[in-house]
Structure formats: structure tokens, C-alpha cells
Structure 1
Amino acid sequence: MKVFVTGVNGQLGHDVMNELAKRGYEGVGSDLKPEYAGVADGSSVTKAPYVSLDITNAEAVDQVITAEKPDVIVHCAAWTAVDMAEDDDKVAAVRKVNVGGTQNIANVAKKLDVPMVYISTDYVFDGQGTTPWKPDFKGYKPMNVYGETKLGGEKAVSETLDKYFIVRIAWVFGVNGHNFIKTMLKVGASHDEVKVVDDQIGTPTYTFDLARLLVDMIETDKYGYYHATNAELPATVSGYDENGTKTGYISWYDFTKEIYRQAGYKTKVTPVTTAEYGLSKAVRPFNSRLDKSKLEKNGFKPLPLWTDAVHRYLEILHEDGFFDELKK
């Protein structure tokens, strides 16, 4: 199987390429930069075939992907700077990438008659309540430009193709790039106290685990909409386990508490409301919970517990010298 992967300079694309190599599949990576510009970790993606590609250029997308003759396209590239997307001078560019770029790729997938994987987000919903969003729920109501354009990308895929996987994720972290865990570790290393919102709920997604699931998916023809985040800890009566870790769904505050517990930080974490925290240009969802039951119904192995994902991720950060850099 030959797989064309967009966005390999980002967190997920990096891990998808490595998972493909692990299984003996041929991955061709692409991104905007002239050459691979992700983390130089010596993993398979750093040595794999790479093609520079501007996904907003329909002619280039058609020429490049057609020439590669892939069996599947995994589309990880996107505009993900949620707050910047709200700037009046950026909106057109965000739409060009997330909607237009996705349409260009879907058009080539249709021409070549190959399946396409599109990565989306809980931001396509209105972010209210506490009930997990179901993957086939069509009551879309995005609250910001990012959500609107990712929904536009979903429609470009679903209205163009019959063979597609639309996979929604939330609270993403991975080795290659910036994310919430790295940010909170940096802040916690230099502050005695951090304030984190406690009224936005969900569960995180480790790209290493997600990449395994995506490759599992493209080995099948079980197309459709799916939700995939790491699993919640089974709920307890007290709401916490023996380590003091929140069970069931969590908030960003709970997430930070667990990151610091596992990292051995003594930094005080203070819960605040979204209104008290301020700062964000884009309206943020209060409810990012995603119902993942469809995965098991269709024979896919769900992602491991989020606490286990954090543990494995912190081990890699230790090995890569991330914590040593913080001490300098």
C-alpha cells in the first residue's frame, strides 16, 4: 500500500508516516516547506520521500498526487491557529487552506478513485452541554472561523467522495511541534502558580496513538464519520482515582494537574472560568467530549487511557532532553 500524507511537518502527519513505515507500507510525505522541516528525531519520516506541496494550488495538487499514484490519501494538513483565524485579514487564507485545500485533495482522490482520510474537530459543534458528541450527529453549529472552515472541509470530502474517513479529534498533543503539554511544562517550570480553565471539558488525543488507529482504518473499507480521542478513566464514585487523578471526562485544569503530577512538578494549579481567564479571540467550546463507541462497533481498537498516553509522552520528552532544556 502506498499512502500520500499531507502535513508531515505537523504533529499527526509525522506520526502517521512513522506508523506506515512500521507496518511496511510506503509513505510519501508532503507539506508547504521545500523539504521536511519537522523534528529531527531520526525516525522514518525524516528519511521518507517528501514532496513540497501547496494544497491551495489545485493544479499542483492534481499533478503531484496523480504522479505519486497513491492507494490512499491521509490529509493531516490544516490551518490550526484558532485565535489567529479570527483576524479579519486571515479569514480568507484560513478558508483557502481548510476548505479549498481539502476540496483540491478530495478532487484528486475522486479522480484516482482512492479513499481519503480527513482529520476534523469537535469545533464543528456548538460546544454546549456535557453529553459526548456522536460522530454521525449532523446538528453542526461551529462557533468560530476555525470550526466553520473545518466543517467546510468535511463537506468537501463527504460531498465529493464515497470512500472516506472523517475522523474528529480534540486536545491534540504529539512529539513534533507545539502543544498544551509542552506549554504547561514550560510555564510550570518558571512559575509557582498557574491558572487554568476548569469549565471546558473533554479528553486529549495523543497523535502516536491516533496514527495507529488511522492506519488500522485504511486497511479496511469501513468508511464514514468517527470520533477518536484517548479514553477516559472509568468513572468512580468520588470522581478521582487512588492517585488523585480525575476520572471520567476532564477539564484543562484536570489535565494540567495530571501533567504536573506525572512530571513531578510542585507548581500550584488554580482553576478559573473561561470568562475569568479571558485572552482568547476565538469562542471556545465548553464541551469537547466525543463519543467513540462507533470505533469498537466497527471492529477498531480504541485509543488507550489518556493518563497512559501522557505517561508515554513524558518519557519521550525526558529522552529527548526537553526537561534538561527547561533547567537551563
Structure 2
Amino acid sequence: MLQQIYYKYVEAPLVVRILGMAVFFITLFGAAVHFIEPQTFPTIFEGIWWAVVTASTVGFGDYAPKTVAGRVLGIGLIFIGAGFLSAYFINLAAAAVTSQNTLREGKAVYAHKNHLVIVGWNERSKEIIDRLQEMPVPRHIVLIDDSLRENPYPEKVVHFIQGAPYKDETLKKANVKDAATALITSDQNKNEVYADMNAILTLVAMKGCQPSLYCVVEILTTDQVINAKRAGADEVIETNRHASSIMLNSLYFDGISHTITHLLDPLNGGHLKVMSVKEEWKQLSFRELASLLLQDRILLIGIKQGEKASINPPLDTTFNSNDELLVIKH
């Protein structure tokens, strides 16, 4: 029994061990002074109170030993007890500073669940994090990046993990196995092919940790889109293709890029979503369903059939069981 207690004590953190020694000596000296001078310290509690005040160098003076033996005991308590208490507070402060540095430098393990993991620090991820913080219910975010040396959000709205996102050690620190969603952004400091390979490698590592994790991956080259899907990407963002489409529209329609950005901004109250076709809607035409959904402030703009989307189809279009609706919902 005593051996088990000893091993647990030895394995405990240094701050806990020092505090334990301080409490032990304060209790020992407090009990001893009670037995040496029972008239001055009528109970053990008074003795412990005196020991605490003496060891902490506060010295209220409400209790003080009268005999030589009691004063010698007090001298010993000052040398021993005060030393342990000083060491305790010094180590406590050092532990707090170390913990703060560990968080800032991205070395601390994230312990919560259902969080969003964002891989890569760049203007896109910064914009996403800033926008998420403006949402009515902010998301718990873990940022993984191997180029940063400290958390870019020191106010702790983001938990930073420093390291390569495809390594198990890094993913364990980010608690990926308990995450809800992952966004893997492309490293545009690398050439496009290498950046896509790095993103797919990270995707494979994350899916290995948690196969059910919903992963959104940014891919720059069209050739790698199929490989990202094979690796298990739930959604692929083709940045170059999307940007090219907006640029192409801007060549024909002035100001369309601003309009599209405004339309897709969730903070403006509009959310572009995909909805399943309910059983009672299958007999309706596109015109009839659009009028019905408008009553709930849902704007029907198109139909998604597999990988193919049809925007503003003929008004007499009907729906199949596997069709999905493209809507803008408040």
C-alpha cells in the first residue's frame, strides 16, 4: 500500500509533489507545536493555522510560541516550510508560462470534440476563420500548419497545431478522430501538382484516423480531382476552375463577380444549399415547386442530377427520386 502511494507520488507532476511536501510539513509542525505548547495552541487546527501563517511569511501575530522549544520549531518551519511554499509558487508560475508558450507555439493537444480542422495558413483560411467568428454560433477551430511558428490568433479563438498535417503525431494533437469537419486548403507556395499531391496525402492521413470525417479539399489542377475523390474527399473545391468561371462571366457582365460574392456570403442571410426532393413534391413542376418554396423564403434556382446541375430549367420540368434541389435559403 505504502509502496503504491510512493510510486504515485514520484510520478506526479513536480508542482503537485512540492505542494504535497509543503502541506505535510505544515501539518507536522502545526501538530507538533500543539503538543509542545497546548495552552498557547489549544487545538491542532490553531497549530496548523500558525504554521500556515509562519511558512507563508505573513505573520499575523495572533499565535506565537512562548517556549524555547516552540520557537526553535518555528525557526525550523520558516527554513523548511517557507522554502517549499516558495518553490511551489515559483514552479506554479513556471508551469503557467510553459503552458502558455506551448499553446502559442502549437504544441498543446486539443481535447474537445466536434470541431473544425483547417489545414494550411493562407489568405483563404484566414478569411474563412474571420468569417466563421462573425457567425451567430462560432465554430471551434483547430488550425494545422507547419510553416507558422506561433498561433496567428493569440486571443485563443483558434487552437493552433504546429506540424505537418499528414503525420499521425500532428493529427493526434488536433484530435482528428473526434473532429466533425476538415477543410484542407492548397499550399500555393508550392507548384500546383505538388500542392495537390500534398493535399491528397493529408486527406488520406485524415481519413485513416477517422473514415467518417467530412473532408472538403481544395484542388488546383483538374487532373487531381478524380484522385482526391478516390482518396475519400466528400467535397472537392476546384479553386482555379471556380475562379476562371467568375472571371469569364465578368468579361460578359460588368460587376458580376461582386454579385456572386455577395450571393454566396452567408453573413448576408443567403445560403446556397442542396435539398432532397420530398415525396409530395414529385408530382409538381419546377414552376409550382418554386412558388411553394417561396412561401418559406426559399428560392429554387435549379436541379442537381448526379454530378450535373441545371440552373433555371424549363418551368414544366418534373422531378425524379434521385434529383436534388439547388436553393438559396435564409
Shared fold (TM-score greater than 0.5)?
no
Under a length normalisation based on structure 2, what TM-score does the superposition of the two structures give?
0.37
Structure richer in helix, relative to its length: 2
Under a length normalisation based on structure 1, what TM-score does the superposition of the two structures give?
0.37
